[in-house]
Amino acid sequence: MDQIIAASVAQRRFNLILMLMFAVIALLLASVGIYGVMSYSVTQRTQEIGIRMSLGAQRKDVLTMIVGRGMTLAVIGLGLGMVAAFFLTQLLRSLLFSTSATDPLTFVGIAGLLALVAFAANIIPARRATKIDPIIALRYD
């Protein structure tokens, strides 16, 4: 009986495992993309950071400004992405067994993970930029 049941759900199990693999790859690509874009935007502002530091801005204030702007963009992107995902998950409803298509734990967990990646993508280059000498940052091209 176990073999008959296993054979009857083999095709669906394969499809779900395949979708899980694609979802993990998509999550990794999204994380790398968010990190790359955020890090690049902070790196492009190195000269601005140098000007602010040379005019007397505190490191903490500059970090707060950079991370605040970056996280504002990340939250807007996450909000739009969650709305789009909410509507697109309705297409997958027939493939799900014991969970709903709009599982709040999944939505919040993935959004939290991407927000954490965005925070790291902002804070790491911003800390690096605030530690360099303002004169070097002003010459940065």
Quick one: pLDDT at residue 85? 86
- Half-sphere exposure at residue 69, Cβ-oriented, CA atoms within 13 angstroms: 11
Residues ≥6 apart with Cβ < 8 Å to 29: none
Quick one: pLDDT at residue 50? 81
Tokens 């967990």 appear where?
A: 109
Quick one: pLDDT at residue 25? 96
Quick one: pLDDT at residue 131? 83
Buried b (16+ CB within 10 A) or exposed e, 84-112: ebeeebeeeeeeeeeeebeeeeeeeebbe
pLDDT by 10-residue block (mean), the chain, 141 residues: 82 87 91 87 82 86 89 92 86 72 83 89 84 75 59
Quick one: pLDDT at residue 97? 67
